[in-house]
């Protein structure tokens, strides 16, 4: 059996690969990366490093050849670009005769008003159309998305949000990565849709946990979208990013990320990392960055 992970030099992909290598012999693992030089370390450990770019479907024919189980990690562009790129990857998987496709989607993809949902709905549909057994790994928000806010409050800023009372089921990338590895390595995951989510929390509830970790009071400023955009511009975010960060606040506010599910625990065979412990890890990470 040969497993291949795309996006293996990205942040999530790196964690998936390391999780797989804890039990999978390196010669049964392949990665498809845009720049093989970035994966030299993996090659040195015996992983089959292949060049593949979703924008160049011909590279994917070689990259996916002889692969049994494939994890497509969603790419990082705008919705239209990603939808096209993912369709290229799915079609290449079909041409290569891949026997199982896992795909990193977003929680509640088909029902939610999440700004990122359209790409994931389209990619899930493309996978379904192939008839290849699949598992949709519908990840909730990465707790790592909050590193900028954590950094801010550690240097004395308030926690600023326009997300209102919307809840988010944050979890660490490490938990999502280990769950993806479990799906690739395990059996019985054919034709499954997993809603991977931590316990949903409001901004105030998350910040309350962070206060305990940091041992100091943090003020939460609930502001309008206009004020939020103004503050983000003031922090130096480029103009093209402003609609995206506003869309994220809106997606939280409209409850798109408020998903209660024990799928993550079930697939991991353990609890997700408790939120306090997860925040402590990120605080430690931020401290080391400074
Ligand atoms: N649920 C959430 O909260 C959340 C938050 C942020 C992102 N995401 C999604 O999760 C994905 C993984 O997150 P991450 O933190 O690991 O992001 P990341 O570090 O930016 O990784 C993105 C990966 O996508 C790959 N990629 C981009 N364009 C590609 C192309 N044309 N062909 C093949 N691969 C391509 C990149 O390849 P290279 O290594 O070659 O650059 C990289 O490995 C993101 O791409 C995004 O779709 C989810």
Query: What pLDDT digit, counting tens, does each position of 4-17 carry?
Result: 999 999 999 999 99
- pLDDT value of residue 207: 98
Domains within the chain, CATH numbers bracketed: 3-139+172-197+259-268 (3.40.50.720)
The answer to whether the CB of 10 is under 6 A from ligand 1 is yes
Would you call 278 helix, strand, or coil by DSSP?
helix
Residue 137 has pLDDT above 80, yes or no: yes
Instruction: Give 6's DSSP letter.
Output: E
Q: Is the pLDDT of residue 55 over 80?
A: yes
Residue 85 neighbours by CB under 8 Å, 6+ apart: 54, 55, 75, 77
Q: Is the CB of 162 under 6 A from ligand 1?
A: no
Specify the pLDDT at position 153: 97
Q: What integer is the mean pLDDT of 118-130?
A: 98
pLDDT at 4: 98
- How large a percentage of the chain has pLDDT more than 90? 99
Grouping H, G, I as helix, E, B as strand and the rest as coil, residue 45 is coil
- The three-state DSSP-derived secondary structure of 165-187 is CCCECCECHHHHHHHHHHHHHCC
Q: Which residues pair with 161 in a beta bridge?
A: 222
pLDDT at 290 over 90: no
pLDDT in tens, 224-274: 999 999 999 999 999 999 999 999 999 999 999 999 999 999 999 999 999
Per-residue pLDDT, 281: 98
Dump pLDDT digits (tens) for 155-165: 999 999 999 99
- Report the C-alpha gap between 2 and 67 in whole angstroms: 5
pLDDT of 61 over the 90 cut: yes
Q: Whose CA is nearest to atom 31 of ligand 1?
A: 54
- Of the candidates 185, 161, 174, 143, the one whose C-alpha atom is nearest the C-alpha of residue 21 is 185
Mean pLDDT of all residues in the chain?
97
Ligand 1 centre distance from Cα of residue 74 (Å):
6
Q: Is the CB of 139 under 6 A from ligand 1?
A: yes
- Distance of CA 114 from the midpoint of ligand 1 (Å): 18
pLDDT of residue 181: 98
DSSP designation for 25? -
Residue 283: partners with Cβ closer than 8 Å, 6 or more residues away: 150, 154, 210, 213, 214
Q: Is the pLDDT of residue 115 over 90?
A: yes
Residues above pLDDT 70, as percent of the chain: 100
In tens, the pLDDT along 184-227 reads: 999 999 999 999 999 999 999 999 999 999 999 999 999 999 99
Residues 6+ apart with CB under 8 A from 142: 12, 170, 171, 172, 173, 176
pLDDT score, position 85: 98
């Amino acid at each position: 059996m040969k497993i291949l992970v795309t996006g293996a030099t990205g942040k999530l992909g790196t964690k998936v690969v390391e999780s797989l290598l804890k039990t999978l012999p390196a010669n049964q693992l392949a990665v498809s990366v845009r720049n093989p030089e970035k994966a030299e370390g993996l090659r040195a450990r015996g992983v089959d490093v292949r060049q593949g770019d979703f924008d160049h479907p011909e590279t994917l024919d070689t990259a996916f050849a002889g692969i049994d189980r494939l994890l497509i990690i969603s790419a990082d562009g705008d919705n239209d670009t990603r939808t096209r790129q993912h369709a290229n990857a799915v079609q290449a998987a079909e041409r290569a005769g891949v026997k199982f496709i896992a795909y990193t989607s977003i929680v509640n993809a088909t029902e939610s008003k999440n700004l990122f949902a359209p790409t994931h709905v389209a990619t899930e549909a493309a996978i379904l159309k192939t008839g290849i057994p699949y598992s949709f790994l519908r990840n909730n928000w990465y707790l790592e998305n909050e590193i900028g806010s954590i950094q801010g409050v550690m240097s004395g800023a308030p926690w600023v949000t326009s997300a209102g009372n919307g809840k988010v089921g944050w979890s660490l990338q490490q938990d999502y990565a280990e769950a993806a590895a479990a799906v690739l390595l395990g059996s019985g995951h054919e034709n499954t849709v997993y809603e991977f989510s931590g316990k949903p929390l409001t901004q105030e509830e998350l910040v309350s946990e962070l206060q305990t970790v940091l041992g100091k009071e943090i003020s939460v400023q609930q502001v309008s979208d206009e004020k939020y955009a103004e503050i983000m511009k003031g922090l130096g975010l480029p103009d093209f990013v402003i609609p995206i960060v506003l869309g994220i606040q809106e997606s939280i506010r409209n409850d798109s990320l408020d998903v209660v599910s024990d799928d993550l625990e079930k697939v991991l065979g353990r609890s997700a990392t408790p939120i306090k412990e997860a925040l402590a890890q990120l605080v430690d990470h931020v401290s080391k960055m400074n």
